[in-house]
A = this chain, B = another copy of it.
Amino acid sequence: MLLLLMCTGALEVSQRSPLACWFSSMLYCFGGAVLSGIIMAEAPVAPLANSTNVLLATLMWYLVFYCPLDAVYCCATMLPVRLVLTGMKEVTRTWKVLGGVTQASRKYKDGVFVMIAVGWAKGAGGGLMSNFEQLVRGIWKPETNELLKMSYPTKVTLLGALLFSLQQCGYLPLQTAQLVLLYTAFIVTNKVRMMLMGSSSSPFAPIESAFHKLLFARPLTSPTQPRSPARPRLADPAHVSEAAGKGASGTSNGSPLPSASEAAKDHRGSESSKKTN
């Protein structure tokens, strides 16, 4: 919580507008509850209803930003204090993810995707909303977001949401308590290791890389590369139909591929299933 507070505002924001700084900090603290509230159609303002929590978070925010001599900031950046705080932060992550998954499973019994989404949103809300949290401070960086380039906390929360959702649906041969213990131990030791070694390299990097190569490698295109020239114009959805029309007239002279009919069937299946919505 505290480490997040440290970054929320460039100091100038804390001087220019304490209110924007405070709001931005609250989005960090309660971002998970706000985001999961929005996607579950529950009141995003609900975290404010627990006055004690809000007052505590406000006290911490005040001490970090405006304490004389920067005393709180300085002591919070001392390594032993940071280790303890970080460890506790990771423990709360487990509870947040589990809370999100069970909250979703109450409403959507078998919706494993909903559980993953809500658990992820609750655990990593501040990060996933970072674009809008920055907007509060007058900063706008559309070229990056947590989906395009996931940070380690977001990744590990997604993993947790996945595991807890599978466990909730009975796909994992584990009790909830066992999984809580294992997952917490994993994220705490991992985070402490990363802090002590000063490395920012994710432990998932090799797995991810292999996975990416296996599944998402650039498909081999035919020599004439029908796709590439058409793509730049496709960036804007408004031009799709025209561009696709041109692309079609350019590529339809190729010989039909054997899988065409099955693919078309799939599309039909997809479309007709939509109709039953």
Contact = CB atoms under 8 A, between A and B. Distances in A.
Interface in A227-250: 227-228, 231-232, 234-238, 240-249
A6 B236 CA distance: 11
A26 to B, nearest CB: 10
Nearest to A40: B43
Contacts of A114: 45-46, 48-49
B257 A10 contact: no
A68 B236 CA distance: 25
Contacts of A45: 39-40, 104, 114, 117-118
A275 interface: yes
A51 B267 contact: no
A145 B18 contact: no
Given A18-B212, A273-B56, A70 B222 contact: yes
Interface in A18-57: 18-20, 23, 29, 33, 37-46, 48-54, 56-57
A168 B3 CA distance: 36
- Please state the number of chain copies in the assembly: 3
A92 interface: yes
Contacts of A263: 63, 71-72, 75-76
Contacts of A82: 244, 248
15 contacts: A1-B271, A7-B236, A7-B244, A10-B231, A11-B227, A17-B147, A39-B43, A39-B44, A46-B114, A57-B270, A69-B222, A77-B251, A81-B264, A82-B244, A139-B235
Given A15-B216, A78-B256, A139-B235, 8 more contacts: A7-B234, A17-B147, A17-B148, A18-B215, A45-B104, A76-B267, A88-B271, A138-B143
| Leading 10 A-B pairs by shortest Cβ distance | A140-B142, A49-B111, A75-B260, A20-B147, A48-B113, A41-B43, A77-B248, A39-B45, A7-B240, A88-B271
